[in-house]
Amino acid sequence: MISNDIRVLLEDASIDKELKTALLPHMIEAQNRAKGPWTKFFTSAPFAALLSAVLVASITEAIRLQSRGEELVHERNLERQKFQYEVITNSLSEAKTPKQRAETLRFLHDIKILTGLDDDKLKEWASENATPPSFESTSNASATTPLVQRTVEQYKELFGEDIYGPDTSHLIPSNADLEAVLGTPGQSMERCLVRVEFPYPMVIDWNRNQRSSFGRAHRSVAPYFEKAFQLIVEAGAQRHAELYGGMYNHRKKRGGSEWSVHAYGASIDLNPSENGLRSGPDLMTMHPDVVRAFKSAGFAWLGDRGFDGMSFEISTETLKEIANSRPNNPGC
């Protein structure tokens, strides 16, 4: 490289060519003396190549260390999650009462929210260690805690086909079954209705600013509804069964000529927005705790047919039980 002084000398037309030729070597020598040996070295091609090699090696090592650091953090997180999971699993096996079980499941839910415990990890730990908890619960979680929500298909895939209890599709009552025990819809049915007090406020699904504290049901069916809600509370599953779609309703089946089971005061719809008539297992999100509570209380779950997961209807077995309790007094 040449300095600005030399460039000016070469470009100055007023200076004689022979004079330029005589001065140029002396000016270049002076420029080199001014730079010194270190300046020459640091501006040389070998130094540039060495510097590039050092920078590449440093960047590569920094990336490797960062990657390893992230791996170590991930491994520690997994170990912490695994430890927490094992503690909760052991606590579940030692839970003696429904209340203890609900509280333990609440802690498991909190761990899932805080640590990112996922389905794949649950499967992995289930195969390595103890049986995983059957599902999450949010019994006493705050209203702002997000619900862990899965579809029926996902629940069954993760926790087994029997997570929803025995199949009740064969126990869904016909209109003849209902009329033989509960009577015929109409004015006489209205006289058979009683209030069923909900143990917690229910949110009206089609107007979520409104709440309901009770529903109406047939006098003979009301105790079974009360039992179902009692079991939901014991399981700590209230937040999974708080969207209310209705109980008694004097109407025909949608698109049909027969009376709806609602017209007998023997059915309830829960979480209808996500478990509607045409929602299959890949869309239904009814929680296993809720389903098992109603089944244990004497209801058939229409979701066992693969659709209409919002609906719980009094089962044919329960109708027989009601009939046997008052053989000479059908209706109310």
Antiparallel, parallel or unpaired: β 193-204 and 243-246 = parallel
Residue 130 has what pLDDT? 38
Beta bridge partners of 298: none
φ/ψ (deg, to 5) at 245: -110, -5
Q: In this predicted structure, what is the pLDDT of residue 84?
A: 56
Q: How do strand 299-301 and strand 243-246 relate by DSSP bridges? A: unpaired
Contact 214, 197 (CB under 8 A): yes
How high is the pLDDT of residue 61? 73
The pLDDT, as a whole number, for residue 214 is 94
Q: In the block, which residue shows the tokens 């053989």?
A: 327
Q: Does domain 169-325 have CATH number 3.30.1380?
A: yes
**pTM value?**
0.58
Predicted local distance difference test score (pLDDT) of residue 273: 86
* CA–CA dist 199, 215 (Å, integer): 11
* Per-residue confidence (pLDDT) for residue 270, from 0 to 100: 95
One pLDDT digit (tens) per residue for the chain, 332 residues: 555 655 565 566 556 666 656 666 666 666 666 555 656 655 666 766 776 677 777 777 777 766 666 666 656 555 555 655 566 566 666 666 666 666 666 556 555 544 454 545 544 544 444 333 333 433 333 344 445 568 888 888 877 888 999 999 999 999 999 999 999 998 889 999 999 999 999 999 888 888 999 999 999 999 999 999 999 999 988 988 999 999 999 999 887 889 999 999 999 999 998 888 777 777 888 999 999 999 999 999 999 998 899 999 999 999 999 999 886 676 77
Distance CA 259, CA 251 (A): 6
Classify residue 184 as left (phi > 0), alpha (psi -120 to 50) or beta: beta
pLDDT in tens, 189-236: 999 999 999 999 999 988 888 899 999 999 999 999 999 999 999 998
Rg (CA), the chain: 38
Q: What DSSP string describes 72-104?
A: HHHHHHHHHHHHHHHHHHHHHHH--SHHHHHHH
Residue ranges of domains in the chain: 4-42, 49-148, 169-325
